[in-house]
Structure 1
Amino acid sequence: MPELPPLREVIARHGLSASKALGQNFLFDAQLLDRIAAIPGDLEGRAVLEVGPGPGGLTRALLKAGARVTAIEMDRRCLPALAELAEAFPGRLTVIEGDAMSLDHDALMGEKYAVVANLPYNVGTALFTRWLGGAKGIEDTWPPRWSSLTLMFQEEVARRIVARPDTPAYGRLSVLAQWRTTATLAMKVHRSAFTPPPKVMSAIVHVEPSTMPEGVSARVLESVTQAAFGQRRKMLRQSLKPLPRAVEALDALSIDPRRRAETLSVDEFVAIAQNLT
Structure 2
Amino acid sequence: MMRSSPLFRSLSPLISTDLWPTVYKGSRARGQIRVSVMSVDTANLAAAAMKFKDHPTRSVLEIFPGPGQWTRSMYLAGAKKIVTVENSDAYQSSLKKLEEESKGVIKNYNLSPLADPFEDLLGPKFNAIPDLKMQEWDNIQSEVVLVGTIPNSTLGEKCLHEFLAASIEKMGIFQYGRVEMYMFLYKDAAKRLLAPPGTPARNRISVLAEAAADMTQIMRPGAMHFHLPYDYELLRIVPHKVPKLSVSMEVLDFCLRSLFTNKSNPLNK
Residue 162 of structure 1 contacts residue 185 of structure 1 at CA under 8 Å; is this kept in 2?
A: no
Q: Secondary structure at the match of 2:50?
A: coil
Distance in 2, matches of 1:40 and 1:108, equals 22
* 1:267 counterpart residue number: 268
> How far, CA to CA, are the matches of 2:104 and 2:256 in structure 1?
44
Is residue 141 from structure 1 mapped to residue 170 from structure 2 by the alignment?
A: yes
- Matched with 1:227 is 258
Give the secondary-structure state (helix, strand or coil) at the position aligned to 1:23: coil
- Whole-angstrom distance in 2 between the partners of 1:215 and 1:102: 25
Render the CA deviation track for 1:11-67: whole Å, top value 9, x for unaligned. Answer: 67x944352124223433211111112333325331211111121111101111222
Q: Which residue of 1 aligns with 2:151?
A: 120
CA contact (8 A) 2:167 2:212 kept: no
Say which is worse superposed, 120-129 or 98-107, in terms of deviation. Answer: 98-107
Of residues 182, 201, 208, the one that matches 2:238 is 208
Superposition CA RMSD, Å: 2.7
Amino acid at match of 2:170: T
Aligned to 1:271: none
SS in 1 for 2:27: coil
The answer to which structure, 1 or 2, has the higher relative contact order (CA under 8 A, 6+ apart) is: 2
Structure 1 residue aligned with 2:96? 83
Matches within 5 A, 1:92-103: 92-103=105-116
Change over 3 Å in CA distance of 1:161–1:11 after alignment to 2: same
| Equivalent position SS for 2:75 | helix
Match of 1:32 in 2: 42
1:2 paired residue among 10, 14, 18? 10
Counterpart position of 2:64: 52
Aligned length: 232
Superposition TM-score, scaled by structure 1 size: 0.74
1:212 CA drift (Å): 2.3
Q: Deviation of residue 157 (structure 1)?
A: 0.9
Q: Which runs of 4+ in 1 moved over 4 A?
A: 9-12
1:171 positional shift: 2.1
Deviations 1:121-161 (A, max 9, x none): 2332111111112xxx6963379236111111111110111
Decide whether aligned partners of structure 1 residues 120 and 228 sit closer, same or farther in structure 2, where only a CA change above 3 A counts: same
- Structure of higher CA gyration radius: 1
Contact 1:70 1:95 survives alignment (8 Å): yes
Q: Does the CA contact (< 8 Å) of 2:62 and 2:85 recur in 1?
A: yes
- 1:254 is aligned to none
Q: Give deviations 1:57-104, integer Å, cap 9, x for gaps.
A: 111011112221111111123212111111111121111112111133
Amino acid at match of 2:59: A
**Aligned-pair distance for 1:114?**
1.1
- Residue identity matched to 2:193: I
Identity of aligned residues (%): 22
Distance, in Å, in 1 between the alignment partners of 2:247 and 2:15 is 47
Q: Is the 8 A contact 1:138 1:218 kept in 2?
A: no
Under a length normalisation based on structure 2, what TM-score does the superposition of the two structures give?
Answer: 0.76
* SS in structure 2 of the partner of residue 117 of structure 1: strand
**Uncovered stretches (5+) of structure 1, i.e. residues with no partner:** 233-259, 269-277
